[in-house]
Amino acid sequence: MKAFFYLIFAFFSITIADAQVLTATVLDADTDEPIPFVAIQTAEYKGVISNDEGVFVILIENISDNEIGISCLGYEAIKIGIEDIKSTNYIIRLKSAINELDTVYLSDSKPNVDSIISRVNKNLKMNYKSDSLSYKLFHRETEHIDFKKLSLKVNKSSHFKKRQLEDANDQLAQMGREIQNSNSVYFKDFSGDLHVLNNKSKKLTVDKATQIINSTKDFSIENIQDKAQRIVLKYLDTTKTYKLKTGLFKIEDSLSLANDHEKDSKNEFEIKKLKSKAFSLLQQSQIGNNSVLRRILNTENYEYTIKNVTFEDGEMVYLIDFSPKRSRAKFSGSMYVTDESFAVLKIDYRYSEGKRGEKVNLRLLLGLKYIQNVNQGTIIYKRNTYDFYEPRYIKHESGEYFFVSRPLKFIENSKNRNKTSFDFKIEGNTRSRVELLFTSIDAIDAETYNNLNEAKSVIYESLRKYDSNTWTGKETLAPTNELKTFEVKD
């Protein structure tokens, strides 16, 4: 089956390569398993990263000297020509380069892990730079919503007829079944440049944006509540306006079916929101107080163990595991640390067993419960020509459990003040993955930054399924199998 899969994959790769795009897969030479997050260098300080499934896509025109560099911590780095990749059916195999610590240190005393971590902290400001940089990026966001329970029902109405009440509840029940049986997922991609002068001054220019989502399955909590409200409003007096309340809180002063216009059909993303997401993810890779590095390198909260060593560009690199030492520490994982500069080249982190993130349990008081139960990610750094280490790839995955129970009430704005009340209960889990690929990073000065204009919005292309031609001429993350096979249904 695996051989058949790669044969089919090779066929598509050849087709794409003829269009000046090369797609290939990187495998472990011993296990034949895909290797995720492999650095693909197309030119000096430029390139892409393979995706979770070991697949990468590069533009042939961007390749210098007709060969690419392939490197991944724990594996032997290689350089390979384009014709050689074609001759192997677009499959590249890497050999393991992990060494046992006892083998490397035959006579000398083994390094002290606490001393290594101390030097990593000491060298953070020398190793990492975050200001006056312009990042050419590709951003991908994937979100899933899995609804476990859903209950929407009109309880009573002072001016609903019995048949109207039954019809409204039938429609609400049907909507509930559709939502529970749905596979709610969307994919959002954009490419552009993030210009960062300092922590407060940043601009985003977007040159391409796409979204793949079934509009009939746009099931955010706000969207579900809005659809339920529309069903109820159909049976109310359209010449009246209504106050909408949930519990003690007033949501709307003047809600009206007569004034319920269709939303603007223009497909736009607000640049402000895209910038906030991209910069927030970038900050996780830097050295601010709330960054991943600062949290994991807190020696009071974590303990560390050297597991093995490997080599990167001739430099020895330690593979160090970390785990909570105190109850307030939440993460476990591993990181690769260089022996000479004491820089972190890669870090993988996840919630330790039994650990959770933010919790809100106001189920009895306000009908609300929220638990962050997934928080994990990967950050990969690469040294540049100025001997600073820059993020080349950032992935963050989060997951939450949610429960919302809202008693909603429509109150007519009239002397009669007719009331209609219905219950809105929903429970489920969300899972999101956000990825940032930096294909190049350059310095930017204040004058250049000030002359940049940032738009308020960008029009995105709404797709029914992933189409590689959409990104012709762009270096992007290769689509996962989930993305390649997803298609919007009517």
The string of pLDDT tens digits covering residues 366-389 is 677 889 999 999 999 998 888 899
Strands 91-94 and 21-28: parallel
| Separation between Cα atoms, residue 247 and residue 255, nearest integer Å | 17
**Among the listed ranges 157-161, 300-304, 439-443, which one has the minimum average pLDDT value?**
157-161
Comparing 464 with 297, the larger pLDDT belongs to: 297
Among all chains, which residue has been given the structure tokens 């790839």? 393
Question: Does the reported pTM lie above 0.85?
Answer: no
| Separation between Cα atoms, residue 169 and residue 162, nearest integer Å | 11
For 9, the 3-state DSSP assignment is helix
Beta-bridge partner residues of 88: none
| Separation between Cα atoms, residue 346 and residue 392, nearest integer Å | 10
Beta carbons within 8 Å of 454's beta carbon, 6+ residues apart: 203, 204, 205, 271, 275
Q: What is the mean pLDDT of residues 129-146?
A: 92
Contact 152, 424 (CB under 8 A): yes
Count of alpha carbons within 13 Å of 384, Cβ hemisphere only? 20
pLDDT at res. 222: 65
| Separation between Cα atoms, residue 232 and residue 165, nearest integer Å | 9
pLDDT at res. 211: 93
pLDDT at res. 13: 39
For 463, the 3-state DSSP assignment is strand
Q: What is the pLDDT of residues 276-298, one digit of tens each?
A: 999 999 999 999 988 999 999 99
Q: What is the pLDDT of residues 54-86, one digit of tens each?
A: 999 988 888 877 889 999 998 999 999 999 999
Angle ∠(182,187,193) on CA atoms, nearest 5: 165
pLDDT at res. 358: 83
Beta carbons within 8 Å of 479's beta carbon, 6+ residues apart: 51, 55, 466, 468
Whether residue 332 has pLDDT greater than 80 = yes
Q: What is the token pair recorded at 324?
A: 């909570």
Mean pLDDT of the chain: 83
Beta-bridge partner residues of 40: 48, 70
| Separation between Cα atoms, residue 48 and residue 380, nearest integer Å | 11
Strands 67-71 and 78-81: antiparallel
| Phi–psi pair at 225, nearest 5 degrees | -60, -40
Neighbours of 283 (CB within 10 A): 17
**Residue 319 confidence class, pLDDT cut points 50, 70, 90:** very high
| Separation between Cα atoms, residue 375 and residue 398, nearest integer Å | 5
Nearest to 297 by CA among 120, 158, 82, 32: 120
Question: Which amino acid makes up residue 69?
Answer: G
| Phi–psi pair at 31, nearest 5 degrees | -105, -15
Comparing 360 with 338, the larger pLDDT belongs to: 338
**Residue 249 confidence class, pLDDT cut points 50, 70, 90:** very low
Angle ∠(385,386,389) on CA atoms, nearest 5: 90
Contact 336, 64 (CB under 8 A): no
pLDDT at res. 21: 84
pLDDT at res. 488: 77
pLDDT at res. 180: 74
Q: What is the pLDDT of residues 175-207, one digit of tens each?
A: 877 777 776 788 999 999 999 999 899 999 999
Among all chains, which residue has been given the structure tokens 């079944």? 177
pLDDT at res. 219: 59
